[in-house]
Amino acid sequence: MRRPLLRSNAFVRAAKRRVRKDPRAAEDIRAALESLAGDAFHPQLHTHKLTGKLRGSWACSASYDLRIVFKFVEHEGKESILLESVGTHEEVY
């Protein structure tokens, strides 16, 4: 089941900032988002629940040290993925 991806303003800003710092990250992010939309629990993504201040959110890996934080939400009657942030492990946790 393919889920629509909803990009929050914070995610868009973080993605732009990350790509400015490392232009190669754009392809990693794009590939991870494609996989996320198709199968949020694909083994390559290492999807996991978050705890603490990020409780209720999930994270997946876009590359060795690049994470995407998201939530599963209902949007227009469909289960969707709300993209919350992207960045290195230290930046998003």
The CATH number covering residue 81 comes to 3.30.2310.20
Q: How confident is the model at residue 12 (pLDDT cuts 50, 70, 90)?
A: very high
Average pLDDT of the chain to the nearest whole number: 96
Quote the distance between the C-alpha of residue 28 and its chain's center. Answer: 11
Does the pLDDT of residue 38 top 90, yes or no?
Answer: yes
Mean pLDDT, range 53-76, rounded to an integer: 97
Q: How confident is the model at residue 93 (pLDDT cuts 50, 70, 90)?
A: confident
What's the structural domain count of the chain? 1
For 22-61, the DSSP string reads: -TTHHHHHHHHHHHHHH-TT-GGG--EE--GGGTT-EEEE
Does the pLDDT of residue 75 top 90, yes or no?
Answer: yes
Of the candidates 77, 67, 25, the residue with the CA atom closest to the CA atom of residue 46: 67
Cβ atoms of residues 71 and 80 within 8 Å: no
Range of the domain at 83: 5-92
Query: Looking at residue 1, what is its pLDDT?
Result: 77
